[in-house]
Amino acid sequence: MTIQTGNQTRREFLKTGAGLAFAIPLASKLGLAGAQTAGNGAVANSYVILKPDNRITIYTHASEMGQGSYTGVPMVIAEELDADWNLVDIEFSPLSDELYGNPRYYGFMLTIGSDAISTFYEKLRFSGAQIRKTVMQMAADNWGVPIGEVHTEPSLVVHSPTGRSMTYGEVSMLGNVPETLPEVDESEYKQVEDYRIVNNRDIQRRDTPGKVFGGVMNGEKMFSMDVRLPGMLYATSKRNHFGNREVVRIVNEDEVLALPDVIGVDVILDSVTVIARTYEAARNGEQLLQVEWSNAEEDARYNSDEELERLKAIAYDESREGIDVMGHWRARLRGQVGQAEGLDEALASADEVHQRLYTTGFMYHAQMETMNAVVDVTDDGRKAEVWAGTQGPTQTRMRVAEVLEIPIENVTLHRNFMGGGFGRKAVRSHDNFVEAAMLSKMYEAPVKVIWSRENDLIAGHYRPHGAHLVTATRNDRGAIDNFLHRTVSDEPLRWGDPERFERGDSRPYLAASFWNGAIYPAVEKFRGDVVMEFTDTRVCAMRGIGGVATAFARECFVDEMAHETGIDPLEYRRRLFEGQPESQLVFDTLKERCNWDGRPGLGCAMGSASYALAVEIDLDERTGIVKPTKIWAVASYAVVVEPSNAENSFYGQLMLYVGASTSEEITFRDGKQEQSNFHNFQIARMADVPEIDVHVIPSESRQIGTSDGPAYAIGPAISNALYSLTGKRVRHLPVSPREVLKALNA
């Protein structure tokens, strides 16, 4: 071997670690950023460390899977800190639930649901403003002037009357760090019009160059799949289509062991692993390997079409009571949306009730980087080092500690970037890490596990399929006034995060979602019921979560109601937002941008109270292929932290949902997926990109995340466009060729 480029030694890995070992007590009464220094005289809180050389380290708590908050989180902090952005160095934060835990998800560090910035927004602003106030106070004390006489310019404290100044680095060396860092009042925050960093289109993502140069940043491998350790072994795994299955017999273990470089075949929980000196050998073993699983006879009778028919029957079965999932946050939404009280009576006593049934299929995340892990168990099994691209670093660490039966402190986790996550890398069982940890312990060597695309798909945790029964009445103006949305589905959290599911708080039901303004405010009485139907098909949350399925049913239904009443579908939706000018402006703007004129092939849908889109489609009647030719999306957002990144994200979401709404679906026949890789699971390619027009309206509303955005409205919009073109309706997502042909021939 003559090339060493790109190699990274063990020593280099150890040197870089997971950031500073910094213990910062959380002292703020607001529960905001840590209000104390480490006692070594540094000017620092849990997000910011000022360095004597005038550079500033800012931590980002969030895991980075492509959404860009690696840069966005520090931007919000740097803005309030009044930092010179060129002097800011970004690092992943240390792992500490106390300092960086997500309050929405019972305090774990967990990057899900597009809230890396929105949930933490006040905390991030506070963290920056607190350090700014600290340096102003320190400089003022040093100069013997009142703090009111100093101001800041980028990374500079200035005595306003005299123009004397000190850099933040110089201030950090004054030695007069206050015992307790100051509290900051919201009135001390910057005004939006004074922002230099936030909402600045010229600021680029800091992870871009590393990604353009093949995934190396500051000498470290960004993706765990690229991490290499001396003496490392490689493993693949094979799992059943269903969870809760046991390995009955490995049919041809000897044959696999006889392959060159293969070292072992092992059963790790419900997977069979092949470990080898090279990945190619492990992969050959995986392809050769034959396994007999428990429950095989019954599983062979499983067909997803039949299963969906069963869920449809349950939707109509009144003896199956649903859980009123909105009950959990109805109090919070009081005044924003209609109430549930009296809904059943209103529907029972109405002269005319409108009812439609919709279904949605299994969807696979298809993140480009398949599940993988690098684990090195040392000290006779007492310590473990983990390289992990994970949305839940705390839970990954817990899981590794649990299976190795060691304290969590003995597990060091290096936070890698993810080659896509979309929810898949938050699944609590973290099987890929379990496999690598157990194998590293057994074989006393570092182990890299890489799932093949086939295993990643077959052992995937899909967005569950489901049936949606919508029952509603209309008032004398044709508007929907009573609305019951009944969802029958497995619950993603039951597999994705069983603890959260069992706790019953922290948004426990993800099969359907009815929050974030996704309900029309004009609807007087509303309820979203979920009937949970447990199955052995592995599921979990996927980008857009329950909103993808509920939006499909709701927006197709609203379209049907509009057509029945003879009201234009866009105008019909606009009226359902009566009294909410910000939302109505979204529809007015959309109408103008797409020249909404009722031409055939044009359809629209609402994604949230601040997002709507329209799509124009082409249809090949022979093949049933529907192709969006142009999409117009209008969104209303408060502060867009990273405008360039948000634009990229908006386009990207639309592309993901174009694929997920037309050509992608996981189906089972005779107990096996009919898809296995990208030849028969077809995600959107460049030729599928329609013309896209995204328009953002500045809003007064609260901060919300953009990368989990309601672009899933493209699914129902495509179905609605198909109706406007053909008069035929597809009530299934995806609007696949199979479904389109069924509808055209009906």
Partner 1 sequence: MNVNFSVNGEAVSVDVEPDTPLLWIIRDHLGLTGTKFGCGMAMCGACTVHLDGARTFSCQIQARSLEGRAITTIEGLSPDGPEGDVHPIQQAWIDEQVPQCGFCQPGQMMAALDLLNRNPSPTREEIVVHMNSNLCRCGTYPRIVKAIQAAAEEMQA
> Taking CB under 8 A as the rule, does residue 140 contact partner 1?
no
Which of 205, 241 has the CB closer to partner 1? 205
Least distance between partner 1 and beta carbon 66 (Å): 3
CB of 625 to partner 1, least distance (A): 15
Site for partner 1 in 304-363 (CB under 8 A): none
HEC secondary structure over 654-684: HHHHHHHHHCCCECEECCEECCCCCCCCCCC
From the list 62, 78, 90, 366, which residue makes contact with partner 1 (rule: CB under 8 A)?
366
> Is the Cβ–Cβ distance between 467 and 315 less than 8 Å?
yes
CB of 454 to partner 1, least distance (A): 8
Nearer to partner 1, 94 or 705 (CB): 705
Residue 165 or residue 648: which is nearer to partner 1 going by CB? 648
CB of 256 to partner 1, least distance (A): 15
3 binds partner 1 (CB under 8 A): yes
- Rounded to whole angstroms, how far apart are CA atoms 605 and 626? 17
Separation CA 298–CA 294 (nearest Å): 9
In the complex with partner 1, which residue's Cβ is closer, 622 or 679? Answer: 679
Q: Which amino acid is at 44?
A: A
Q: Nearer Cβ to partner 1, position 40 or 218?
A: 218
Toward partner 1, which CB reaches closer, 58 or 646? 646
Interface residue with partner 1 among 123, 133, 190, 205 (CB under 8 A) is 205
Q: In the bound complex, what is the minimum distance in angstroms from residue 654's beta carbon to partner 1?
A: 7
**Residue 219 Cβ, how far from partner 1 at the closest point, in Å?**
10
What letters, b where the CB count within 10 A reaches 16 and e where it falls short, cover 225-235?
bbbbbeebbbb
Binding mask 669-708 for partner 1 (x = CB under 8 A): --------xxx---xxxxx-x--x----------------
Query: Could you say whether residue 158 binds partner 1 (CB under 8 A)?
Result: no
Cβ proximity of 713 and 607 under 8 Å = yes
Which residue pairs from 584-588 have beta carbons closer than 8 angstroms and sit at least 24 positions apart in sequence?
585/636, 585/697, 586/610, 586/611, 586/612, 586/634, 586/635, 586/636, 586/697, 587/612, 587/634
218 binds partner 1 (CB under 8 A): no
Nearest residue (CB) to partner 1, 369 versus 481: 369
Identity of the residue, 52 or 420, whose beta carbon is nearer to partner 1 in the bound complex: 420
Q: Which amino acid is at 299?
A: D
Cα 430–chain centre separation: 16
As measured in angstroms, the least distance from the Cβ of 679 to partner 1 is 5
Instruction: Tell whether residue 301 is a contact of partner 1 (CB under 8 A).
Output: no
Q: Are 375 and 386 within 8 A, CB to CB?
A: yes
Q: Determine, following the binding rule CB under 8 A, whether residue 559 of this chain makes contact with partner 1.
A: no
Alpha helices in 482-546 (DSSP H): 492-496, 498-503
Pattern of binders to partner 1 over 421-460, x per CB under 8 A? xx---------------------------x-xx-------
**What does each C-alpha distance from 106 to 80, 102, 116, 324 come to in angstroms?**
27, 7, 15, 22
Closest approach of partner 1 to the CB of residue 574, in Å:
29
x/- contact string, 630-659, with partner 1 (CB under 8 A)? --------------xx--xx-xxxxxx---
CB 657 → partner 1: shortest distance, Å?
9
> What does the CA dihedral 466, 467, 472, 477 come to, rounded to 10 degrees?
70
Closest CA to 656 of 549, 543, 556: 543
Q: Which of 197, 281, 323, 375 binds partner 1 (CB under 8 A)?
A: 281
Do 719 and 628 touch, CB atoms closer than 8 A?
A: no
Least distance to partner 1, CB of residue 278, Å: 6
Q: Return the number of other C-beta atoms located less than 10 Å from residue 216's C-beta.
A: 17
Q: Which of 221, 397, 428, 554 binds partner 1 (CB under 8 A)?
A: 221
Rule CB under 8 A: which of 5-34 touch partner 1? 5-7
CB of 368 to partner 1, least distance (A): 4
How many other CB atoms are there within 10 angstroms of residue 520's CB atom? 24
Extract the tokens encoding 177: 């760090």
Q: Is 129 helix (H, G, I), strand (E, B) or coil?
A: helix
User: How many residues of this chain bind partner 1 (CB under 8 A)?
Assistant: 72
Nearer to partner 1, 424 or 729 (CB): 424
Least gap, CB of 293 to partner 1 (angstroms): 23
Q: What is d(CA 394, CA 110) in angstroms, rounded to the nearest whole number?
A: 8
Q: Is 56 exposed, middle or buried, given 0-12, 13-18 or 19+ CB atoms closer than 10 A?
A: buried
| Whether the Cβ atoms of residue 250 and residue 265 lie closer than 8 Å to each other | yes
The distance of closest approach from Cβ of residue 346 to partner 1 in the complex, given in angstroms and rounded to an integer, is: 42
Residue 370 within binding range of partner 1, rule CB under 8 A = yes
Q: Which residue from 85, 126, 223, 514 is in contact with partner 1, where contact means CB under 8 A? A: 223
Of 103, 214, 327, 498, the residue at the interface with partner 1 (CB under 8 A) is 214
Task: Specify burial of residue 157 (Cβ count, 10 A radius: 0-12, 13-18, 19+).
Answer: buried
Instruction: Tell me whether residue 226 or residue 559 sits nearer to partner 1 (CB atom).
Output: 226
- Applying the rule CB under 8 A, the residues between 67 and 126 that interact with partner 1 are 67-68
DSSP for 343-362, written as a single string: HHHHHHH-S--EEEEEEE-B
Q: In this structure, how many other beta carbons lie within 10 angstroms of the beta carbon of residue 669? A: 12
288 binds partner 1 (CB under 8 A): no
Q: Is 234 in the site for partner 1 (CB under 8 A)?
A: yes
206 is an interface residue for partner 1 by CB under 8 A: no
616 near partner 1, rule: CB under 8 A: no
Is residue 181 a contact residue for partner 1 (CB under 8 A)?
no
Q: List phi, psi (to 5°) of 503.
A: -65, -35
Is-contact 539 496, C-beta < 8 A? yes
Binders of partner 1 among 400-419, rule CB under 8 A? 417-419
Write down the residue that tokens 């022979």 correspond to: 622
Binding mask 256-275 for partner 1 (x = CB under 8 A): ----xx--------------
